[in-house]
Structure 1
Amino acid sequence: MAPLCNERELIILGDQLVRPPYQRFEGRREPHAALEELAALLDRSRGVPGRRRCLVALTWVRVGADSIQETLLRLALIRAGLPEPELQVPAQPGYRWSPRADLGYPAPKIAIQYEGDTHFTPQQQRADQRRDNIFLAEGWRVLRFNSEDSREGFQRAVAQVRAALGLE
């Protein structure tokens, strides 16, 4: 795939390969690959077209991006010079179970959610409201983005995250 993909596309592919699966939807328990396995594969692939691009992309692959849009949002924040957000950030660290933000900055308590089309059903909206209320009760600021934000390259999202971080 390397000769056919640009760096951003390779990062997206890598994120999807290393993400933990949702067992109830995917019927598997393990990611397709581990970061170490991808690195070892590239080490054995000297001379293969696109290898250098893959090596660069691999430095930006992260475990925890559940969707392409989450990866694109993370990359937009980084490209804009913001600190790299953490992925799958718990509202209540240290608890046995806690709702998670897709991305976030734990120290200033900024939770970032990307809401794909599945989040606009009444049932999912109720679940998301309950999730967000836990974050809010714990003192977090919750920023929610969707396909409209993606269509504009996350420009407003970047500005809103920058403002929330106090970096204006």
Structure 2
Amino acid sequence: MDLGRLCTVRELIIIGDQLVRHPYPRFEGRAAPHATLAELRGLLEESPGTPGRRRCLAALTWIRVGADSVPETLLRLALIRAGLQEPQLQVPAQPRFRWSPRADLGYPALKIAIQYDGETHFTPHQQRADQRRDNVFFAEGWRLLRFNQQDHREGFERAVGQVRSALRLG
């Protein structure tokens, strides 16, 4: 709420996505998100007249559980802004299995998986793990699109075009 009057709606969505995302306990030392969507909604309902409240309410409609990084949120927002259907987040390659590898974003009905690979994905260890993850998607018949920091720097313009093409082929 304190940031509502200082930030854009886009910035509030980024913050909100980070507040509600599920943490990775082995890396973060916590098992619960910082807040839930219901808690954020409740806070806004209890704060009529607070400066920035309208902006926070606008952001709340676009906050989603499942974006693990700021670039993932920005990629999702770029796809929506371009008029594409909103992708799902943390999409399993094999929904019937509890421990299935997941794509950061995707369109399960069309078997389109989208990964954003930040800097940690370029270590030899992580590249091996990502290769194994990707092979599960390929074996299940998914199309996989991978984007990185260069796409982020370009505002995901090329990424949007590639996703649009994949959706057309759908």
With structure 2 as the length reference, what TM-score do the two structures score?
0.97
Matched, 1:94 2:62: no
Q: Which amino acid aligns with 1:130?
A: R
In the alignment, what sits opposite 2:83? 81
Matched, 1:133 2:135: yes
Matched, 1:44 2:46: yes
Q: Tell me the CA shift for residue 112 of structure 1.
A: 0.1
Q: Which amino acid aligns with 1:48?
A: T
Q: Distance in 1 between matches of 2:137 and 2:165?
A: 19
Q: How does 1:17-166 map to 2 (within 5 A)?
A: 17-166=19-168
In the alignment, what sits opposite 1:8? 10
Deviations 1:51-81 (A, max 9, x none): 0000000000000000000000000000000
Q: Which runs of 4+ in 1 moved over 2 A?
A: none
Q: Tell me the CA shift for residue 12 of structure 1.
A: 0.4
Contiguous gaps of at least 5 residues in structure 2: none
Q: Tell me the CA shift for residue 3 of structure 1.
A: 1.1
With structure 1 as the length reference, what TM-score do the two structures score?
0.98
Identity %: 76
Deviations 1:1-35 (A, max 9, x none): 11110000000000000000000011111000000
Q: Distance in 2 between matches of 1:121 and 1:142?
A: 20
Contiguous gaps of at least 5 residues in structure 1: none
Give the secondary-structure state (helix, strand or coil) at the position aligned to 2:168. Answer: coil
Give the secondary-structure state (helix, strand or coil) at the position aligned to 1:41. Answer: helix
Give the secondary-structure state (helix, strand or coil) at the position aligned to 1:157. Answer: helix
CA RMSD in angstroms, aligned pairs only? 0.7
Q: Distance in 2 between matches of 1:127 and 1:95?
A: 18
Q: Tell me the CA shift for residue 96 of structure 1.
A: 2.3
Q: Distance in 1 between matches of 2:148 and 2:97?
A: 28
Q: Which amino acid aligns with 1:88?
A: Q
